């Protein structure tokens, strides 16, 4: 196990190595572009030693914002053949070549977080306020099903191949997807990545979006994949609360923000699966819950909803594996401890879960989760994700968000 000072040094070196000048890639080779929520995590890592660079990371992300307010999940600043699908497949319509979908909107929360630590940068936070409002308005206009926030592609949630998509995907026949060559499995072993079955459907959904020029009104009516998701709903609700705090500070009106908060508080109830006793996804097309307890289910505290509804599930799952929170409940038949979002532990998700737990007064649980994750990292390095049973590192290495949350916890 490496000591904390060595880990701090290594984490800073990883951020420096993944820095491409104004933005950070999640890891070299596997993900050679700027990803949305990865960048926000990068910013809080930089904040530990370089506030200016932290702000720049988020400012660069917002340079890719579309005219309709959407902030893409990938910005293709410089074409790199090592990643598929690239800009020619996505055909995004923004100012920088990009994908056509978004990602969990954690930026509002962490812009406020940066501002609290660096009040002198108020003009930079203020300049980001309107773009943030425009982005949130895009979600509330196009992705709002009774206050629950929906996605039109699994990649949008960041939990690419979690078992929540198995039901919705079974209803999709990926017709007309041209032959393609994955690059991810040239960088990472196949057992730790999504299956071909999933990739066929990912590409089918990209094709549908690209063909209509990412017209949200059209997709709302026609896409077979429209699923309300806890990652999106809970991170947007939380970020909206943080936008409100910034609006008050900047003496901006809060009426619209208040309406969004009330809507999403109601909408969160649509994600409550009383039968399974958990927050999960709700498949709008099929009209049913997905029935999976995932690490996203435990973001309810972070969103400030549900009281302690998830506490029993949390304690049960925390006791099942050496390292937690696994991305899928180990008691679920689809759990696979090494396969990406179907089981492994993700440090940055743990940071969000621990933040919520601490704020809700579960300080001991928040500390235990943080300590468990820090022990996992110091023993196994800054991997993309980890096997919950033994901590074995998996996916990409020298990973930005794992290094970043390490530093954020240290600062």
Instruction: In angstroms, give the least distance from the CB of 265 to ligand 2M8.
Output: 26
Half-sphere exposure (CA, 13 Å, Cβ side) for 66? 27
Q: Closer to ligand 2M8 at the Cβ: 37 or 382?
A: 37
φ, ψ (nearest 5 deg) of residue 130: -65, -45
Stretch that binds ligand 2M8, among 30-38, 46-54, 246-254, 272-280 (CB under 6 A): 30-38
Stretch that binds ligand 2M8, among 143-151, 153-161, 162-170, 236-244 (CB under 6 A): 153-161
The answer to whether residue 38 forms part of the interface with ligand 2M8 (CB under 6 A) is yes
- Is the alpha carbon torsion for 30, 34, 40, 44 positive or negative? positive
Whole-angstrom distance, CA of residue 96 vs CA of residue 29: 21
Residue list 82-141, contact with ligand 2M8 (CB under 6 A): none
Stretch that binds ligand 2M8, among 152-160, 247-255, 324-332, 357-365 (CB under 6 A): 152-160
What Rg, from alpha-carbon coordinates, does the chain have? 20
- Return the SS3 of 265: helix
The answer to whether residue 160 forms part of the interface with ligand 2M8 (CB under 6 A) is yes
φ, ψ (nearest 5 deg) of residue 328: -130, 140
The answer to whether residue 23 forms part of the interface with ligand 2M8 (CB under 6 A) is no
Stretch that binds ligand 2M8, among 31-39, 162-170, 227-235, 282-290 (CB under 6 A): 31-39
Is 313 in contact with 274 (CB distance < 8 Å)?
no
In this chain, which of 35, 55, 301, 335 binds ligand 2M8, going by CB under 6 A?
A: 35
Burial track 326-340 (b if 16+ CB lie within 10 A, e otherwise)? bbbbbebeebbbbbb
Entry field: residues in the chain = 411
- The tokens for 393 are 């590192």
Burial track 376-408 (b if 16+ CB lie within 10 A, e otherwise)? bbbebbbbbbbbbbebebbbbbbbbbbbbbbbb
Is 335 in contact with 328 (CB distance < 8 Å)?
yes
φ, ψ (nearest 5 deg) of residue 301: -65, -40
Active site residue 384: yes
Q: Closer to ligand 2M8 at the Cβ: 272 or 406?
A: 406
CA angle, 265 then 228 then 154, to 5°: 135
The answer to whether residue 32 forms part of the interface with ligand 2M8 (CB under 6 A) is no
Stretch that binds ligand 2M8, among 154-162, 290-298, 306-314, 367-375 (CB under 6 A): 154-162
Instruction: In angstroms, give the least distance from the CB of 31 to ligand 2M8.
Output: 5
The answer to whether residue 76 forms part of the interface with ligand 2M8 (CB under 6 A) is no
In this chain, which of 31, 139, 169, 324 binds ligand 2M8, going by CB under 6 A?
A: 31
Q: Closer to ligand 2M8 at the Cβ: 82 or 224?
A: 82
Q: Which of 8, 48, 57, 160 is catalytic?
A: 160
In this chain, which of 32, 45, 64, 158 binds ligand 2M8, going by CB under 6 A?
A: 158
Active site residue 160: yes
Peptide bond into 166 cis (omega under 30): no
- The tokens for 241 are 């609360």
User: Cβ–Cβ contacts within 10 Å for residue 256, how many?
Assistant: 16
> How many chain residues bind ligand 2M8 (CB under 6 A)?
10
- Return the SS3 of 98: strand
Tell me which residue has its CB nearest to ligand 2M8: 158
**Partners of 273 in beta bridges:** 278
Instruction: In angstroms, give the least distance from the CB of 105 to ligand 2M8.
Output: 13
Instruction: In angstroms, give the least distance from the CB of 353 to ligand 2M8.
Output: 15
Q: Which of 38, 280, 384, 387 is catalytic?
A: 384
Residue list 164-223, contact with ligand 2M8 (CB under 6 A): 184
Instruction: In angstroms, give the least distance from the CB of 36 to ligand 2M8.
Output: 7
User: What is the distance, to the nearest Å, from the Cα of residue 180 to the centroid of all Cα atoms in its chain?
Assistant: 26
The answer to whether residue 37 forms part of the interface with ligand 2M8 (CB under 6 A) is yes
Q: Catalytic residue positions?
A: 160, 384
**Residue ranges that bind ligand 2M8, judged by CB under 6 A:** 26, 31, 35, 37-38, 73, 155, 158, 160, 184
């Amino acid at each position: 196990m490496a000591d904390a000072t060595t880990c701090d040094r290594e984490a800073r070196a990883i951020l420096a190595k993944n820095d491409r000048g104004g933005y950070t890639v999640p890891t070299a080779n596997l993900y050679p572009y700027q990803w949305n929520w990865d960048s926000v995590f990068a910013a809080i890592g930089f904040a530990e030693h370089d506030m200016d660079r932290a702000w720049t990371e988020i400012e660069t992300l917002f340079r890719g914002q579309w005219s309709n307010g959407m902030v893409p999940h990938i910005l293709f600043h410089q074409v790199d053949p090592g990643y598929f699908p690239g800009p020619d497949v996505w055909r995004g319509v923004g100012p920088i070549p990009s994908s056509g979908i978004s990602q969990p909107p954690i930026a509002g929360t962490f812009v406020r977080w940066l501002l609290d630590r660096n009040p002198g940068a108020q003009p930079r936070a203020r300049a980001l306020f309107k773009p943030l409002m425009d982005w949130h308005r895009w979600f509330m206009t196009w992705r709002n099903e009774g206050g629950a926030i929906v996605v039109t592609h699994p990649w949008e949630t960041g939990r690419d191949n979690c078992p929540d998509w198995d039901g919705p995907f079974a209803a999709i026949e990926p017709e007309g997807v041209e032959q393609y060559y994955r690059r991810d499995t040239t960088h990472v072993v196949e057992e730790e990545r999504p299956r071909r079955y999933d990739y066929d459907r990912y590409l089918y959904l990209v094709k549908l979006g690209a063909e209509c020029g990412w017209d949200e009104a059209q997709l709302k009516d026609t896409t077979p994949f429209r699923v309300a998701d806890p990652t999106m709903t809970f991170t947007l609700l939380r970020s909206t609360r943080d936008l409100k705090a910034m609006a008050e500070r900047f003496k901006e009106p809060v009426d619209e923000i208040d309406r969004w908060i009330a809507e999403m508080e109601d909408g969160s109830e649509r994600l409550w699966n009383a039968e399974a006793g958990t927050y999960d996804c709700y498949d709008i097309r099929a009209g049913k819950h997905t029935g999976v307890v995932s690490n996203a289910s435990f973001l309810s505290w972070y969103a400030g909803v549900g009281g302690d509804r998830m506490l029993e599930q949390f304690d049960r799952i925390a006791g099942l594996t050496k390292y937690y929170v696994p991305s899928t409940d180990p008691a679920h038949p689809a759990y696979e401890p090494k396969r990406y979002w179907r089981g492994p532990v993700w440090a940055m998700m743990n940071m969000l879960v621990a933040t919520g737990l601490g704020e809700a007064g579960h300080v001991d649980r928040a500390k235990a989760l943080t300590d468990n994750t820090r022990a996992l990292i110091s023993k196994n390095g800054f991997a993309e994700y980890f096997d919950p049973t033994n901590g074995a590192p998996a996916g990409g290495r020298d990973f930005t968000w794992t290094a970043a949350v390490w530093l954020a916890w240290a600062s």
